[in-house]
Structure 1
Amino acid sequence: MAKELKTQIRIEAAPDQVWDVLTDFEKYPAWNPFIKSLTGQVAVGHTINVRLEPPEGSGMTFKPKVLAMEKNKEFRWLGQLFFKGLFDGEHRFALVDNGDGSTTFLHSERFEGILVPLFNEMIEVNTRNGFEDMNQQLKIRVEGLYK
C-alpha cells in the first residue's frame, strides 16, 4: 500500500535564499513548527536525527537516511518504522525557480508499507497540517530576511 502527500507554496525569494533558510538546521527550533530538530551529517548516504511534532499529533524522533542533497534544488530522506516495508516514508523538499525572482517550494512524502492504511487519517490531517504550517513559516522567514 502506498500514499503520497503533496503540498507547495510560492515564496517571493530566489531558490538560493530559500535553500539557505531551509538548510540552516540549527535555527529550526526558532521558526519551524513541524520539524523541531534536524541533526547529523546531512550528506547522501548518511543517517540524520529528525524530531517531528505534527499539530495535534504525537511527536516522534527517527533516524532517516539522506537520499539526495542537491544545493538550491532538492533535499530528500527515507525513514522507516522498525524495518523496511512496515511503514516507510520518503520525505522530499524541492525548490523550483519560477524565473521571476520567486521560488515554488514543494514539500511532499511518499508513504509505503503494510501499515499505511492504519495511519491514513494521521497522514491526511496531522501530517498535512504540519507540512502546511512549515511551508507557511518558511515563506514568512525567507521573505522577512530577503525582501
Structure 2
Amino acid sequence: MTTLRFDTRVEQDPDRVWAVLTDVNTIPQWFPAVREAYFDGVHRHLSTPQGTLKALVVTKDDELRRFQYRFVEGLPEPIEFHLGTIDVLPDGDGSRVVYSQEILPESLAPIVERAVGEGIAGIARYFATHP
C-alpha cells in the first residue's frame, strides 16, 4: 500500500478552513482537476476532464475537523483500497491542512499523488486569495 501525505499552512481560522473544505460546492474553486462536484447524501461525485469520480463519505467530524472518503468508482483501474483524509488543525494564528492518501494498487499512486499535490497547492492559493 502507498501512503502519501501533503500539508500546507494557511492564514485563516481553522473553522473557516474546515467550512470551505467540507462544502462540496467549493471543491472546484480549490481543487484544479475538479470542474463540478455534488453530494447525493452518501457519495461525492466529482467531474474531471478524465471523467467522473465517485467517493463514499466515510467520516465528517466537525469537532476534530477530519474528513475522510473512499474512491469507489472512476479511477483508471480497479481500486483495491483507498482512504483520503483531510485534517484541519490549529496552527498559531492560522491553520495547518494535512491531506493524506492510502491507496492500493500502488500503480494508482502516481495519479493520486499528482492530483492531491495540485489539490494542496490549490488550498493554499484559495485561502491566499479569499481572506
TM-score in terms of structure 2 length: 0.79
Deviations 1:48-92 (A, max 9, x none): 212355xxxxx242322111011261111112359xx85321111
Residues 62, 30 of structure 1: CA spacing in aligned structure 2 closer, same or farther, 3 A cutoff? Answer: closer
Larger radius of gyration: 1
> What pairs up with 1:1-147 in 2 under 5 angstroms?
2-41=1-40, 46-52=42-48, 59-71=50-62, 73-81=65-73, 86-98=79-91, 100-112=92-104, 116-117=105-106, 119=107, 122-124=108-110, 126-146=111-131
SS at match of 2:43: coil
Q: Do 2:55 and 2:73's aligned partners in 1 also have CA atoms closer than 8 Å?
A: no
* Amino acid in structure 2 at the alignment position of 1:90: L
* Amino acid in structure 1 at the alignment position of 2:85: R
Offset at 1:21?
2.1
- Show structure 1 runs of 5+ residues with no match: 54-58
- Distance across 1 between alignment mates of 2:123 and 2:33: 11
* Amino acid in structure 2 at the alignment position of 1:6: R
- Distance across 2 between alignment mates of 1:35 and 1:105: 19
- Show structure 2 runs of 5+ residues with no match: none
State the superposition RMSD in angstroms.
2.5
Sequence identity percentage: 15
Aligned pair count reads: 127
More strand by share: 2
